Amino acid sequence: FYSGWNEQPLQVVYRHKAAKFRFEDIRLMEQEEQDAYIADFAERDKAEGFHFSSGELMRVSVLRTGEEAYRFVWSFHHILMDGWCLFLIVGEAFHTYF
């Protein structure tokens, strides 16, 4: 999103712009250590925020917590999705997952 174009905000949609993706394997941590790490990870992710100047308005993180267990952290700027469309997108994501 750019401001200052014809005194109106302008949304630019890139053809090839990947979301930031992070993967961390924390299986070797004890359960209490994992819980603390995940809580801290979520706080740091939230504090990172989003900046229109970078063009990155979404992040996806996967934390592997066990042999077949993961934590999924999906962060995005509110300008991308509101409560109405978030319901549809999360429903589609879960449908695809299942």
CATH number at residue 30: 3.30.559.10
Name the domain count of the chain.
Answer: 1
Domain of residue 30 covers: 2-97
The rounded distance, in Å, linking the Cα atoms of 47 and 51 is: 12
Q: Which amino acid is at 49?
A: G
58 or 34, which is more confident?
A: 34
Under DSSP, the state recorded for 46 is H
Q: What separation in angstroms does the CA of 1 have from each of 53, 54, 57, 75, 86?
A: 8, 10, 10, 17, 19
Is residue 4 pLDDT above 80, yes or no? no
Q: What is the pLDDT of residues 41-66, one digit of tens each?
A: 999 999 999 887 777 888 999 999 99
Q: Which amino acid is at 21?
A: F
Strands 69-76 and 20-25: unpaired
| pTM of structure | 0.77
